[in-house]
Amino acid sequence: CSAMMFRTAVEHAKKHPGLIPQFFFICLGMGGASLYLVRLAKGPHVTWDKTNNPEPWNKLDPTYQYKFVTINTDYKNLKKDGPEF
């Protein structure tokens, strides 16, 4: 089924070359969104195994940089404020 959809898209692109950039940017956007979703699913705040590690965020080091971009925070100098769980 997906091969037929791909073949149809290629046929349309041959008939209408103006569609080629649109196909390119749609595929680029879908690929980027998929990669970002995978990155979010592997983050420290997501629990996939509740039996072995029910709260994985409690075992993070205070110097662990969990944000994608940080502007003013230097994670190397942070200290843990709070109790141990």
Q: What is the pLDDT of residues 6-39, one digit of tens each?
A: 899 889 889 998 988 998 999 999 999 999 999 8
If asked whether residues 19 and 34 sit together in one domain, one would say: yes
Q: Which of 46, 31, 39, 29 is nearest to 68 (CA)?
A: 39
Rg of the chain over all Cα atoms, to the nearest angstrom: 22
Range of the domain at 3: 1-42
Give the pLDDT of residue 33: 97
Same domain, yes or no: 62 and 38:
no
Band (pLDDT 50/70/90 cuts) for residue 80 is: low
* Number of domains, the chain: 2
Residues 28 and 56 in one domain: no
